Amino acid sequence: MTELSPRLLIVGPPGAGKGTQATAIAESFGIPAISTGDIFRANVKNETELGLKVKAIMDAGDYVPDSLTNELISDRLGQADAEAGFLLDGYPRTLHQVEFLDSYLEGKGEKLNAVVQLVADRDEIVERLRKRALDQGRSDDTEEAIRHRQDVYLRETAPLIDTYRDRGLLIEVDGLGTIGEVASRIDTALTDRGFRPVASAS
């Protein structure tokens, strides 16, 4: 089997541990985990030209438009550490962003080659988040609010998941269990697809 350069996307409902698993995948496969939130914060903190645009929009209480998000992502993917592969977390979120990413990667002779979807029972996630909210004293994190965030996630990501499933890129992984158990399932699924963890690359 031909070894692939991992150009990956991870998706999963709030509370499924997506951020934690993104970090583990990045370490396992020797690629940067690229989160839109981290990119926004880094650019704002460093007062880059793009960062100043983002800050002005966020200060006004508006959503960062696709065009600016796309610009930030293409800037980040153009950096040296992403040449051998990357893991995107939080992008793309819309079909317009999917089209932009396709076009950007195609221009470099590349393409996204796997989408890891963390799948978890909704009621179990709600219970996990309610318990965490209680432990952390976050009384505003009600069951109703948590379920609303799950609904928004499902509504927003369904078209993306359908698109990547149609392309044969979707890898569904059970997101329930310990951090180590879920990480092991992801590693196995990616290795089966032809990606090689850096520890075993020799």
Question: CA-to-CA distance for 66 and 72, rounded, in angstroms?
Answer: 10
Tens digit of pLDDT for each residue in 87-131?
A: 999 999 889 999 999 999 999 999 999 999 999 998 999 988 888
Q: Exactly one of 111, 138, 165, 167 is catalytic; name it.
A: 138
What confidence tier does 201 reach under pLDDT thresholds 50, 70, 90? very low
Please confirm, yes or no, whether 185 is among the known catalytic residues. Answer: no
pLDDT over 90, % of the chain = 55
Instruction: Please indicate whether residue 149 is annotated as part of the active site.
Output: yes
The answer to whether residue 33 scores a pLDDT higher than 60 is yes
Q: What is the mean pLDDT of residues 174-201?
A: 88
Q: Of these residues, 53, 128, 149, 196, which one is catalytic?
A: 149
Marked catalytic residue, from 93, 147, 193, 196:
93
Residue 104's domain is classified under what CATH number? 3.40.50.300
User: Does the bond joining 92 to the residue before it have cis omega, within 30 degrees of 0?
Assistant: yes
Helix (H) or strand (E) holding 1, with range, is none
Q: How far is CA 177 from CA 118, 129, 182, in A?
A: 11, 14, 6
On whether residue 124 sits in a domain, the answer given is: yes
Token pair listed for 179: 């951090």
Instruction: Quote the CA–CA distance of 122 and 125 in Å, as a whole number.
Output: 5
74, part of any domain: no
Percent of the chain whose predicted confidence (pLDDT) is above 70: 97
Residue range of the domain that includes 95: 7-34+84-193
Tell me if residue 18 is catalytic. yes
Longest Cα–Cα distance in the chain:
51
Active site annotation includes 132:
yes
Q: What mean pLDDT comes out for the span 169-174? A: 96
Known active-site residue 76 = no
Q: How many structural domains are present in the chain?
A: 1
Gap between the Cα atoms of 122 and 151, Å rounded: 10
Is there a domain that residue 89 lies in?
A: yes
Question: According to the model, what pLDDT value does residue 149 have?
Answer: 87
Give the tens place of pLDDT for each residue, 34-90: 998 888 888 899 999 988 988 898 888 887 888 999 999 999 999 999 999 999 999
Residue 167 lies in a domain: yes
Query: Nearest CA to 17 among 124, 102, 142?
Result: 124
In a domain, 127, yes or no: yes
d(CA 15, CA 186): 17
User: Where does the pLDDT of residue 3 fall: very low under 50, low under 70, confident under 90, or very high at 90 and above?
Assistant: low
- Asked if 37 contacts 72 with a C-beta cutoff of 8 angstroms, the reply is no
Q: Which of 45, 131, 132, 167 is catalytic?
A: 132
pLDDT tens by residue, 130-140: 888 888 887 77
Name which of 171, 147, 161, 178 is nearest 14 in CA terms.
147
Instruction: Please pick, among 18, 76, 130, 185, the residue that the annotation labels catalytic.
Output: 18
